Amino acid sequence: MENTTRTELSSMGEFGLINHLVQYFIPKVDSTIKDAGDDAAIVSPPLGEHLVLTTDLLVEGVHFDLMYTPLKHLGYKAVIVNLSDVCAMNAKPTQFTVSLAVSSKYSVEALEELYSGMLAACETYGVDLVGGDTTTIANGCAISITAIGFNKPEKLSLRSGAKPNDLLVVTGDLGGAYLGLQILEREKEVFLAAPGVQPLLEGYDYVIARQLKPEARLDVVQLLEQLEVKPTAMIDISDGLSSEIIHLAENSNCSFRVFEDKIPVSPEVQSCAKELNMDPTTCALNGGEDYELLFTISMDDYEKIKGNPNFSVIGHATPVGEKNILETKGGGVVELKAQGWKI
Ligand code: ADP
Ligand code: MG
């Protein structure tokens, strides 16, 4: 849905542009004392809580492709990837800043779209935009978001902390975002070869949404609090299950044994993987950007999460020095390797 009018960025001036873009962002979070518009934002930390701080940089052509990424989705996702990192510390995100480097190919209307996605993220997650920086760049666009959040010190979960026999738990289902990207890339190739041919995206809604509109699992942070479960270690899945398991293992000084038949894969992911001649388990292990949470819990907490549809227990921690093992559906064992994802 392209905007038909085009207002050049240069026509507004830096201050006019910033004021224009942030005008609909009304701070709602109690701890926001001063939002965008001064030299710096002011945040009042909740009494006795620690501040969690994270940042992520997205670069056009490296982390996103505007041929199939609507700017509104890009704005939403740029916020979400940061909120997901705050959630992965078992903290609640509260504020963020946005730094933008944009070339003149972007219009005011394009940036309005980008900011409408960020506004949607503010509304969904109850967070405030409290500032940023804006500059020009020769080509393309780069967006850097810095987010903060809070929680009581004893609630925060690091990547270290898993102990042998702890259970390994993952939220939601995996592999969808990677398959969504494959479909979008496939349709881009078709379009480039024959412009005018409509992309074939029907029937792939789930995997495309997983790629273009990921969510941060703040609901899981809240649920764990309600259930009185504190993960012994936690990480979010941005690079694929395999590599995140290896991060937990290295940071916690332990190893993991994972069972293929326990890895949650949705029916949509199954059928899409089949169609693309891919193994759904490989998509879950090595695909990226699902933004689910992967964490360990003490076995004593198993009863509290048992049967909850948000959680899948996929394995357990083993002593350091053992290999990180996937036990396959056929009963074989393979060592988990980090394929990683785009840096
Ligand atoms: P300074 O010269 O002090 O860096 P700026 O002119 O860059 O100030 O920014 C003015 C105000 O607008 C600041 O409060 C800043 O946080 C905010 N701001 C600047 N760019 C953005 C942006 N892209 N999105 C949101 N707020 C922004
Ligand atoms: Mg500035």
Q: What is the DSSP string of 124-156?
A: HHT-EEEEEEEEE-SSSEEEEEEEEEEE-GGG-
Nearest atom (ligand 1) to Cα of 14: 6
Is any atom of ligand 1 closer than 6 Å to the C-beta of 37? yes
CATH of 167-335, one of 3.90.650.10, 3.30.300.30, 3.40.50.11810, 3.40.50.10860: 3.90.650.10
Q: Is the pLDDT of residue 172 over 60?
A: yes
Of 195-204, 238-247, 316-325, minimum mean pLDDT range: 195-204
Could you give phi then psi for residue 325, rounded to 5 degrees?
-115, 140
What's the pLDDT tens digit per position in 41-87? 999 999 999 999 999 999 999 999 999 999 999 999 999 999 999 99
Nearest atom (ligand 1) to Cα of 98: 24
CA distances to 6, 116, 216, 308 from 101, rounded to whole Å, are 19, 18, 25, 43
How long a stretch of residues is the chain? 343
Residue 240 C-alpha to ligand 1 middle, in angstroms? Answer: 35
Domains 9-155 and 167-335 alike in fold: no
Cβ(247)–Cβ(158) under 8 Å?
no
Residue 2 C-alpha to ligand 1 middle, in angstroms? Answer: 27
Is any atom of ligand 1 closer than 6 Å to the C-beta of 22? yes
Over range 294-305, report the average pLDDT.
98
Q: Is the pLDDT of residue 89 over 90?
A: yes
First to last CA, the chain: 30
CA pair distance 75, 290, nearest whole angstrom: 17
Ligand nearest to the Cα of 146, by number: 1
What is the percent of the chain with per-residue pLDDT over 70, rounded to a whole number?
A: 98
- The 3-state DSSP class for residue 191 equals helix
Ligand nearest to the Cα of 134, by number: 1
What's the pLDDT tens digit per position in 20-51? 999 999 999 999 999 999 999 999 999 999 99
Indicate which residue's Cα is closest to atom 22 of ligand 1: 132
**Pairing mode of beta strands 128-136, 92-102:** parallel
Let me know if domain 9-155 sits in CATH 3.30.1330.10.
Answer: yes
For residue 200, the model assigns a pLDDT of 80
What's the pLDDT tens digit per position in 123-154? 999 999 999 999 999 999 999 999 999 999 99
Is any atom of ligand 1 closer than 6 Å to the C-beta of 127? no
CA pair distance 43, 32, nearest whole angstrom: 5
Domain ranges in the chain?
A: 9-155, 167-335
For residue 3, the model assigns a pLDDT of 52
The DSSP secondary structure of 21-69, one letter per residue, reads HHTT-----TTEEE-BTBSS-EE-PPTTPEEEEEEEEEEBTTTB-TTT-
Within 254-300, residue ranges assigned H as helices are: 267-275, 280-286
Task: Look over the chain and give the mean of its residue pLDDT values, rounded to a whole number.
Answer: 95
Give the mutation target among 134, 136, 141, 145 for probing the ligand 1 site: most ligand atoms within 8 A of CB.
Answer: 134
Is any atom of ligand 1 closer than 6 Å to the C-beta of 148? no
- The 3-state DSSP class for residue 94 equals strand
Is any atom of ligand 1 closer than 6 Å to the C-beta of 218? no
What's the pLDDT tens digit per position in 258-274? 999 999 999 999 999 99
CA pair distance 67, 192, nearest whole angstrom: 10
Residue 17 C-alpha to ligand 2 middle, in angstroms? Answer: 13
Residue 88 C-alpha to ligand 2 middle, in angstroms? Answer: 29
Is any atom of ligand 1 closer than 6 Å to the C-beta of 18? yes
- Nearby residues of 16 by Cβ (< 8 Å), 6 or more positions away: none
For residue 342, the model assigns a pLDDT of 43
Over range 2-10, report the average pLDDT.
81
Nearest atom (ligand 1) to Cα of 129: 25
What is the percent of the chain with per-residue pLDDT over 90, rounded to a whole number?
A: 91
Is any atom of ligand 1 closer than 6 Å to the C-beta of 38? yes
Split at pLDDT 50, 70, 90, the class of 341 is very low
Contacts from 279-284 at CB under 8 Å and sequence distance 24+? 280/175, 281/175, 283/174, 283/175, 283/178, 283/179, 284/174, 284/175, 284/240, 284/241
Split at pLDDT 50, 70, 90, the class of 197 is confident
Residue 86 C-alpha to ligand 1 middle, in angstroms? Answer: 23
Q: Is the pLDDT of residue 1 over 80?
A: no
Q: pTM of the prediction?
A: 0.95
Which segments of the chain are extended strands (E)? 32-34, 42-43, 50-59, 92-102, 128-136, 141-151, 167-171, 233-236, 255-259, 293-297, 311-318, 325-327, 333-335
Split at pLDDT 50, 70, 90, the class of 299 is very high
108-131 b/e (C-beta count within 10 Å ≥ 16 → b): bebbbbbbebbbbbbeebebbbbb
Over range 212-240, report the average pLDDT.
97
Nearest atom (ligand 1) to Cα of 15: 6
Residue 230 CB: number of other CB atoms within 10 A?
18
Q: Which amino acid is at 41?
A: A
Residue 309 CB: number of other CB atoms within 10 A?
7
Give the mutation target among 18, 115, 136, 148 for probing the ligand 1 site: most ligand atoms within 8 A of CB.
Answer: 18
| Burial of 249: CB neighbours in 10 Å, binned 0-12, 13-18, 19+ | buried
CA pair distance 208, 224, nearest whole angstrom: 28
Cβ(42)–Cβ(50) under 8 Å?
no
